[in-house]
Amino acid sequence: MDETQKKKNTDGVAETGNMQEAAEQVQPEDVHEEKTPFMDTTDVLSEAPVDEDSAFLHNDLSENEGYTAQFSELTEQMEDAPALQERTKATKKRLLMPCVTVSILIFVLAVVAGAVYVLFFANSPVGVWAQDGQTTASYYIFDNEGNVQLVNGTVSYKGTYSFKEATQDTPSKITLYIPVGYTAISGDFDYSIAGNLITGKSFVISSDNGAQLNLHSASLPENTLKPAADRKTDEKIIGTWSTLDGAYDMVYCFNADGTMYMESQNMRIDAVYTLEDGQIVTTYMLSGQEGTMEEAYYFDGDTLVISGIGYQKE
């Protein structure tokens, strides 16, 4: 072996020795960087997954205890959902019940307060009033619409009323208009209302000349008129009839049981009737006594003629 070959062999051994020494000095991490320039995520995933998808796809569930616990908690939450819903409903119900109770209490208190006011403090004339000191009283009926009736027996006269509030210089005023036959109760009057619905109320209407109409709260008596047992009627006359001429406003209503009423714009008479010899015989009550009225009638085709005035069936 010549010198040249010995030198090459010696260099090769030296290079081999140097590479071994270098290899011993190079750390496994450095060797990995030289062979694989991409970041190794194996250790990271095995210890703490970078994201949930990677952990689920690349890790063994037996090793990845963190995810087993998470799914276990989710399962427990799903199992507890019905109980949570029931607790939520119970909480809402507990919160709702006081609100409902308070609302009912407020409503009851409002009703009670309204009833107390109406019973003891309201000074409205609405209602039925009887005239003091009369055995066969006349009754005044006031409604909420400004209408008033003067009732005597089964005869009632219809009128209107209105109020004028009191001022510093003038007392409260009531304006009345009630036509009674050929006369009328008409004018502005002073008035006062006292008492309550428990012990009774009084209603005093005074004129400028000092005359007073004294009324007290009352109930309208029952109509005691009864049709005669031997009454006669006609199927053809039963029904409601009104005048053909609008200038004369009158309505007759005949019932099969023998009761009837006749009504105009200003008056109404409730009565009983029977038919006798071409006459409508009507019986009514006025001032505690029965009154009788007879009117001739006949039919002209479909027109009912009473006392010369034609009526058409409604």
- Range with lowest mean pLDDT among 17-21, 41-45, 206-210: 41-45
pLDDT of residue 95: 55
Average pLDDT over residues 267-278: 96
pLDDT of residue 90: 60
Q: 213 and 245, same structural domain? A: no
Q: What is the mean pLDDT of the chain?
A: 75
In a domain, 230, yes or no: no
pLDDT digits (tens, 9 = 90+) for 133-142: 876 778 999 9
Q: 213 and 132, same structural domain? A: yes
Q: Which residues contact residue 213 at a Cβ distance below 8 angstroms, ignoring those fewer than 6 apart?
A: 131, 204, 205, 206
Q: 198 and 251, same structural domain? A: no
Listed residue (154, 161, 156, 153) closest to 126, CA to CA: 161
- pLDDT at residue 128 tops 70: yes
Q: Give me the CATH number covering residue 151.
A: 2.40.128
Regarding predicted confidence, which is higher, 11 or 254?
254
- Range with lowest mean pLDDT among 150-154, 209-213, 244-248: 244-248
Regarding predicted confidence, which is higher, 189 or 56?
189
Q: What's the CA gap between 158 and 269, in Å, rounded?
A: 11
Regarding predicted confidence, which is higher, 245 or 127?
127
- pLDDT at residue 269 tops 70: yes
Q: What's the CA gap between 161 and 146, in Å, rounded?
A: 5
In a domain, 122, yes or no: no
Q: 213 and 162, same structural domain? A: yes
In a domain, 283, yes or no: yes
In a domain, 275, yes or no: yes
CA–centroid distance for 312 within its chain: 42
| CA distance to 227, 298, 307, per residue, from 295 (Å) | 18, 10, 6
pLDDT digits (tens, 9 = 90+) for 286-307: 988 999 999 999 999 999 999 9
In a domain, 109, yes or no: no
Q: 274 and 193, same structural domain? A: no
Q: What's the CA gap between 28 and 45, in Å, rounded?
A: 20
Do 248 and 306 meet the contact criterion of CB atoms below 8 Å apart? Answer: no
- pLDDT at residue 174 tops 80: yes
HEC-encoded secondary structure of the chain: CCHHHHHHHHHHHHHHHHHHHHHHHCCHHHHHHHHCCCCCCHHHHHHCCCCHHHHHHHCCCCCCHHHHHHHHHHHHHHHHHHHHHHHHHHHHHHHHHHHHHHHHHHHHHHHHHHHHHHHHHCCCCCEEEEECCCCCCCEEEECCCCEEEEEECCEEEEEEEEEECCCCCCCCEEEEEEEECCEEEEEEEEEEEEEECCCEEEEEEECCCCCEEEEEECCCCCCCCCCCCCCCCCCCCCEEEEECCCCCCEEEEECCCCEEEEEECCEEEEEEEEEECCEEEEEEEECCEEEEEEEEEEEECCEEEECCEEEEEC
Average pLDDT over residues 29-42: 43
- pLDDT at residue 276 tops 60: yes
Q: How confident is the model at residue 312 (pLDDT cuts 50, 70, 90)?
A: very high
* pTM, two decimal places: 0.61
Average pLDDT over residues 227-231: 93
In a domain, 159, yes or no: yes
Q: 255 and 211, same structural domain? A: no
In a domain, 300, yes or no: yes
What would you measure as the largest C-alpha separation in the chain, in angstroms?
A: 176
Q: 263 and 209, same structural domain? A: no
Number of domains in the chain: 3
User: What percentage of the chain carries pLDDT values higher than 90?
Assistant: 43
Average pLDDT over residues 49-62: 44
In a domain, 255, yes or no: yes
Q: Domain range spanning residue 264?
A: 239-313
Listed residue (275, 225, 278, 261) closest to 252, CA to CA: 261
Of the three residues 217, 249, 278, the one that is the final residue of a domain is 217
Average pLDDT over residues 34-40: 44
pLDDT of residue 71: 44
pLDDT of residue 139: 94
pLDDT of residue 150: 95
pLDDT digits (tens, 9 = 90+) for 77-124: 554 556 656 666 666 556 556 666 667 767 666 655 555 444 444 578
Average pLDDT over residues 147-159: 95
Regarding predicted confidence, which is higher, 81 or 19?
81
